[in-house]
């Protein structure tokens, strides 16, 4: 006889990743993480905290504690609209918005977000298009996101708005692009190379993380 | 002095911010502000790009700064780059802080630029058109050129998040007043409201609509409560969010009726007597409650 599936809500030490806090505070902008006094000003000022599964204050505490998996799977990081009120209000000068960005990037790198979830899909599609052409093409980004999330719902809900905007001359499917794409590609490859080298140096212990 | 104009992806071509770009250029021309477009500019590396790759996002931004330095580096004053989009403005400013404050970012970006035969020495000033109009052109000159004062118009000046955060350069991050002063110089009355820099929900209106649209609803219902009959914005995304989802706000959240939402540049253009067509007034779904014909202003004022 099998017992009914019970989701364990309690976290033990073995669930923690002791390096997570160090990883996040090592990135530019993350250095003040350890100074958080858990005052909750960030959560109070965040216009989206009421929709979040964990408030920004809790995300900071969980990141510090090493609850990597819970943090990266939370909706909070995606609901952050990057308005910087938390950063401006934080009495300890913690760049909370930038920490949220760092967490989003980890989650995207590791591919841990709900399938067909609009926010990370939108980011990835925007990224790909801009990386290739140097500019975003609003119409194309929206269509790509719709196709990769829930095309029928988008057709039903947003098609009218799209048509209206097109009539007003505010939306187009035309591909926007810069002229010197090669120049941009060289720059982007250059920073990628530098990041890889720094990573390698860190792993071999030549540079302090 | 010539300003370098960086439209950004949302204010170039047939995009959400088209009317913003049109009205800004019309106002610049009417006030003799000399500008030229930054040649071959690329995306600033905004929010969605930064959510995938930060180093690349900064590099994207720096290419624009490097191009600006090359194109505008001949005069005595530092090259000044101006962009109407609040997000581009914030990202370009943030990038300058990051390449200065973090040597590892600075070094890798400078060497990547060099590989593409570009360089950036950090001389570019990034400034918002609101800052330029109020602090360079000056309110006196603008008020002197007003042909149709916006009498009777009560305006909620909405700065949005990214115009003054996280790196405020021309106003206060908590309680900015620059746009209010401009609106007053145009003959309208700015209303006092506390949500000036509250977030509009950005791209959440397209991904989790019920959450994104509700944030914009909060802004509009408060603007209405304070007696505003128009909301002035300074960001293509804010304008889109506040204007284009109003029937959802009326249906789902109980917004008590439509509120016209325009760009501060459109209001300035109307007051300066420019034709509505040049200001993109025909691109708005909810028309602004000001006449776009010269001479009708008095009728409008008495009708109020």
B3-5 and B35-37 strand pairing:
parallel
Using a CB-CB distance cutoff of 8 angstroms, which residues of chain B are in contact with residue A145?
206-207
In this predicted model, what pLDDT tens digit does every residue of A94-109 receive, in sequence order? Answer: 999 999 999 999 999 9
DSSP states of chain B: --EEE---GGGSSSSTTHHHHHHHHHHHHHTT--EEEPTT------HHHHTT-HHHHHHHHHHHHHHHHHHH-SSSSPPEEE-S-HHHHHHHHHHHHHHHH-HHHHHHHHHHHHHTT----S-PEEE-HHHIIIIIIIHHHHHHT-SS--TT-EEEE---STTTSSS-SSS-SSS--HHHHHHHHTT-EEPP-TTTT----TTHHHHSHHHHHHHHHHHHHHHHHTT-SEEEESSHHHHHHHHHTHHHIIIII---S---EEEHHHHHHHHTT--GGGGTGGG-SS--SS-SSTT-HHHHHHH-
CB contact under 8 A, B112 and A186: yes
Contact B133, B145 (CB under 8 A): no
Q: Does B107 touch chain A (CB under 8 A)?
A: yes
CB contact under 8 A, B203 and A119: yes
Peptide bond into B166 cis (omega under 30): yes
Residue in chain B nearest A96 by alpha carbon: B166
Tokens of A144: 């790509």
d(CA B227, CA B247): 20
In this predicted model, what pLDDT tens digit does every residue of A6-52 receive, in sequence order? Answer: 788 888 999 999 999 999 999 999 999 999 999 999 999 999 999 99
d(CA B78, CA B73): 7
Tokens of A99: 């920490």
Using a CB-CB distance cutoff of 8 angstroms, which residues of chain A are in contact with residue B207?
118-119, 122, 145
Element (H, E) at A67: none
CB contact under 8 A, A172 and B199: no
Digitized pLDDT (tens) for each residue of chain B, 304 residues in all: 899 999 999 999 999 999 999 999 999 999 999 999 999 999 999 999 999 999 999 999 999 999 999 999 887 889 999 999 999 999 999 999 999 999 989 999 999 999 999 999 999 999 999 999 999 999 999 999 999 999 999 999 999 999 999 999 999 999 999 999 999 999 999 999 999 999 999 999 999 999 999 999 999 999 999 999 999 999 999 999 999 999 999 999 999 999 999 999 999 999 999 999 999 999 999 999 987 666 555 554 554 4
CB contact under 8 A, A138 and B15: yes
- Cα distance from A127 to chain B (closest Cα, Å)? 5
Using a CB-CB distance cutoff of 8 angstroms, which residues of chain A are in contact with residue B203?
81, 119, 122
d(CA B106, CA A175): 31
Q: Which residues of B102-131 are buried (b: 16+ CB within 10 A; e: fewer)?
A: beebbebbbebbeebebebeeebbbbbbbb
pTM of the entire structure? Answer: 0.94
């Amino acid at each position: 006889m099998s017992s009914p599936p019970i989701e364990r809500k309690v976290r033990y030490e073995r669930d923690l990743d002791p390096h997570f806090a160090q990883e996040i505070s090592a990135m530019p902008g993350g250095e003040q993480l350890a100074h958080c006094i858990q005052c909750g000003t960030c959560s109070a000022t965040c216009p989206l905290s009421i929709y979040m599964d964990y408030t920004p204050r809790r995300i900071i505490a969980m990141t510090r504690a090493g609850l990597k998996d819970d943090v990266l799977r939370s909706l909070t990081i995606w609901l952050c609209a990057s308005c910087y009120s938390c950063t401006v209000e934080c009495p300890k000068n913690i760049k909370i918005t930038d920490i949220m960005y760092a967490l989003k990037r980890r989650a995207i790198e590791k591919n841990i977000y709900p399938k067909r979830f609009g926010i990370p899909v939108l980011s990835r599609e925007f990224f790909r298009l801009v990386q290739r052409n140097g500019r975003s093409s609003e119409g194309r980004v929206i269509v790509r996101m719709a196709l990769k999330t829930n095309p029928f719902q988008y057709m039903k809900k947003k098609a009218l708005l799209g048509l209206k905007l097109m009539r007003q001359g505010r939306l187009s499917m035309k591909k926007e692009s810069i002229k010197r794409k090669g120049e941009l590609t060289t720059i982007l490859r250059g920073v990628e190379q530098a990041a890889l080298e720094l990573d390698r140096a860190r792993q071999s212990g030549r540079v302090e993380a | 002095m010539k300003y370098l104009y960086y439209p950004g992806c949302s204010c170039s071509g047939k995009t959400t911010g088209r009317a913003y770009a049109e009205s800004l250029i019309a106002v610049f021309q009417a006030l003799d502000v000399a500008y030229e477009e930054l040649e071959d500019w690329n995306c600033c590396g905004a929010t969605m790009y930064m959510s995938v790759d930060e180093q690349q996002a900064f590099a994207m931004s720096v290419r624009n700064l490097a191009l600006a330095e090359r194109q505008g580096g001949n005069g005595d004053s530092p090259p000044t780059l101006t962009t109407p989009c609040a997000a581009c403005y914030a990202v370009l400013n943030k990038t300058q802080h990051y390449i200065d404050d973090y040597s590892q970012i600075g070094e890798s970006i400078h060497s990547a630029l060099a590989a593409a035969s570009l360089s950036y020495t950090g001389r570019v000033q990034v400034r918002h058109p609101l800052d330029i109009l109020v602090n360079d052109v000056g309110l006196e000159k603008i008020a002197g050129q007003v042909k149709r004062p916006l009498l009777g118009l009560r305006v909620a000046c909405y700065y949005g998040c990214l115009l003054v955060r996280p790196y405020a350069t021309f106003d206060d991050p908590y309680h900015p007043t620059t746009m209010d002063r401009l609106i007053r110089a145009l003959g309208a009355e700015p209303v006092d409201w506390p949500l000036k820099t509250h977030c509009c929900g950005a791209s959440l209106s397209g991904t989790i609509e019920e959450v994104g649209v509700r944030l914009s609803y909060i802004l509009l219902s408060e603007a209405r409560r304070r007696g505003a009959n128009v909301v002035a914005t300074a960001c293509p995304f804010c304008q889109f969010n506040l204007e284009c989802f109003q029937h959802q706000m009326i249906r789902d959240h109980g917004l008590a009726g439509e509120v016209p939402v325009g760009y501060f540049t459109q209001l300035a253009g109307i007051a300066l007597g420019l034709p509505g067509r040049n200001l993109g007034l025909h691109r708005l779904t909810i028309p602004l409650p000001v006449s776009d014909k010269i001479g009708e202003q008095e009728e409008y004022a008495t009708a109020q």
